[in-house]
Amino acid sequence: MTSLRAITIIGFFVVMELAVAVETYLTSGSVLVPRLSEVLAVLGTGLAAFSLQADDPPRRPWLVFFLAMLTVPTARLVGMLELSLAGFPVKVLILIVSNVAIVAALYLFTRVLRASGFAPDWDDPEARGTRNMLIGFVSLLGLAALANQYLVITRATSAANLTIQTVSIFADAAICAAGLYLMWLVRPLMGGSVAQPYLLIAIGGGVFIVMDFIQSIQQVATQDELASPVLTGMALLGWSCFALAGFAQRRLLKTADV
């Protein structure tokens, strides 16, 4: 029951970032590699979900996470068709579903950890210090989301733009808050292979919240419109974290086979 090796994780990130750099150099743009990272996130989370047995408690959050990842390339394909529903691009509606699904998956992950009996109790006096830190960070996150939303409202160029950015800001804030809570629950498990997928998910969520803040300043509605190589690189990092989380969970299960 082993986790992914550090060199594997770092190597994955490096290969992805190099690939996008090469694509940008050759084509003056970066389309395929970012989309590949999203597909890898689908693949990784799907492998994790379907490696677990149907009645295993961790299967449900992995399944929801997989479905959340699946909606992203689906939205891209739908976006090419330029479908709209009641004036809203269907692509935007699908991305809203994706954000909600990720929040739901993270909540389900925290529920599995708490139900196992291995996670710390919220009222545990020994965990008071880290608990207070968590509350502090989440509070700051909420304030940052509100400030971000103010920027979005003052700079939005369309209803669809405003909607997707608003949903993205608060969903990513919820994702980051859930990710921080997940890390708080996983902290006692550090040093064990079971912690790795959760840490990767939490890091991926953290990357996207930072991106959201930057994007709202740049008035970018969705990640297709990323112009900065820094943002492209960050998006790659986020999707890679989600992909690697799934691969790590899969490895945990496969190396348990007798």
Partner 1 sequence: MGDSKVATEVVRVLTPLLGPHTARRALAMVCKRAGKDSGSLGPEDLPVAHQTLRPMLRTLVGKDIAVKVLADLGAQGGS
Nearer to partner 1, 49 or 176 (CB): 49
Which of 61, 39, 40 is CA-nearest to residue 49? 61
Nearer to partner 1, 87 or 117 (CB): 117
Nearer to partner 1, 127 or 220 (CB): 127
CB of 188 to partner 1, least distance (A): 5
CB of 244 to partner 1, least distance (A): 18
**Is residue 53 part of the contact set for partner 1 (CB under 8 A)?**
yes
**Is residue 258 part of the contact set for partner 1 (CB under 8 A)?**
yes
Q: List binders of partner 1 among 203-242 (CB under 8 A).
A: none
**Is residue 124 part of the contact set for partner 1 (CB under 8 A)?**
no
Which of 50, 70, 69 is CA-nearest to residue 60? 50
Nearer to partner 1, 82 or 257 (CB): 257
CB of 44 to partner 1, least distance (A): 17
- Report long-range pairs for 14-19 (Cβ below 8 Å, ≥24 apart): 16/236, 16/237, 16/240, 17/233, 17/236, 17/237
Query: How big is the CA angle at 114 (ends 257 and 175), to the nearest 5 degrees?
Result: 95
Nearer to partner 1, 176 or 202 (CB): 202
**Is residue 257 part of the contact set for partner 1 (CB under 8 A)?**
yes
Q: List binders of partner 1 among 177-196 (CB under 8 A).
A: 188-195
**Is residue 5 part of the contact set for partner 1 (CB under 8 A)?**
no
**Is residue 117 part of the contact set for partner 1 (CB under 8 A)?**
yes
* 248 vs 250: CA distance, rounded Å: 5
**Helix/strand/coil percent split, the chain, to 5:** 80, 0, 20
Specify the 3-state DSSP secondary structure of 70.
helix
Instruction: Identify the residue among 64, 112, 201, 203 touching partner 1 (CB under 8 A).
Output: 112
| List of residues 6+ apart from 62 with CB closer than 8 A | 45, 48, 49, 52, 105, 246, 249
Which single residue is written with the structure tokens 């949903």? 167
List residues near partner 1 by CB under 8 A: 1-2, 52-53, 55-59, 112-113, 115-118, 188-195, 252-253, 256-258
